[in-house]
Structure 1
């Protein structure tokens, strides 16, 4: 196990006070804090290699290009991709899913009535793009139900698959339930009927080892800011043989081979899907974040977060009998979505904030999921590699102070 004391020194913001109280940051599922090495990578990119990539013959441009493409190789290696050819930089998971919904929709949705499968637990960014595609192409959106403990109902999933199924898109890890889905099995079953598969990995990459070759999916999407990297950049990995069949998502510079007023031909992968000036500073910092995580070890991080989750779950149920938890699957990420009696989550989160504790409240961009449980909003505490058992203790001390005020 890594040294928490040493690791926390890499995150200056964790020493901040909020309303005169030490910050206890438990909103890691929304975004993670950034270590010094990531911020320094941003500084160095601007101070020593700031130039447009791919398009200049001068030294700075060549250096920026080298850093950007090394970052692409680094991200590809992190998720077990066989080569960087299918690794497309995007603004994040949301843009990556929209890219597939548009471009794969144009290429592979051939007739009215083609079907898209998603699950009840999906984030809005893995619902709305498919609704737009369905409206545009006359497709049908079907929803995989959940078991009572918040797992995919695999029996129902099998019954929903058919020769009309063109694409299946599910989360690797739910941002509300914490459920870790059997993505290899999901992919295998979809491929049996000839469907493509996209996995939303936004909540998975910081907490579990990801290998896209082993998963077997056609697309895997994730964001840097969920794994201690900068905001505004993410990645879509796609099987090159599939990406080559898809039209560009956006037009502009870099994604072209040759332009005339009569006809434009497109660049090779992955550049065909990267119109405009890429975020070469963000990609460098993204790479630094992955280096940081790998130095600690993803397995060690996962073990630490699982221990915190188990400890917090046990305390919540034993100390607040009126509490409830959304998502009780046996295999979960470090996410605890909960409520206490009839207390409104917004009120709970507001009072906890005044004690320095940052949690998330609301529908967590998963309104259909919450409605399926009969709720409009819940509170969520989510753990990261720098959180401590003492912070969990303080969180419960704060709960014991504010809950009686709200009941």
Structure 2
């Protein structure tokens, strides 16, 4: 069954958790013991109904504060699709949490309070969605019940948001007026908004096409493990295990090994001991080559006519995730697939004010800051631009002193 991974984002009290709770409730995805736990928590809305937002509270501390402070993952399915939801916090100080939750999303749902319209948090969340190259955005104008389901309010917010995204890298934007609290346009069409002729939220989630027709991904196979049992039964077995992260590979394909540049041909593709003719994007397989080459974990197989950039110098968008500020004099580690190597930050090109979207070079680069940095790695990396292949354009930065992940990287381009 098809899987859709989506993220919800919005400012505090826009109703993200209530929206997710409503989806789970209306699709019968809540277990009896969960309902009992909600009733025992004794959280009610003003009209006396159950507070569905509690379904996404992952920690007791979150419930006590009345806000969501981490990324809460929830799972449900219908007859048409399976879903993974990431509910991310709205506060600016939790920008890193949103980046984490959104990194693998196919769709972003951005909630806008109908009473407030497009605000700074809306611009910030939209910028992050654009930065992470999420292919689809759905704007849910929530709390329509609080503005008497006024069509003019919805139209104004839609117009304002379309202006906001003119300078952002967002492929597709859709709009739905909803009331998460009342259930309007969530699991079925709303009788309170006869002027709205579009679909409701659940139907949109079941049918949205997340394929990016304008981005043709090329075949990439990062080697995770070299399999050489060297047993009496398998004295000459040599296979390369990993997961295809773009395009597809076929038996007989001429391939190059990067970064060495050696060439060979695929003789066999295995999955759980069975031979395949093709390995598609997302498949975890073992590939065999015609030649015995020096290939290690962290190397990459690509088709000879579909070469990525191979460079030690590149620019990358970065979200800083550590409480310690970035130290440009420090040597860090970069992990790109299975390859880990030392890396030096050569220059901070700019930092982005995620509320105003203005660029600046002033001040320290600290927790939750986003910007663009020039890097130089000790060993060459084989990568694509993040906008073309998220899996092969993403990486993490590690502090070698404590092995903590300090930043997420979205590679923009090679510079040498």
Give the TM-score range, shorter chain.
under 0.3
Normalization by structure 2: what TM-score? Answer: 0.24
> Which has the larger strand fraction?
2
Normalization by structure 1: what TM-score? Answer: 0.25
Q: Which of structures 1 and 2 has the larger relative contact order (alpha carbons within 8 angstroms, sep 6+)?
A: 1
> Which has the larger helix fraction?
1
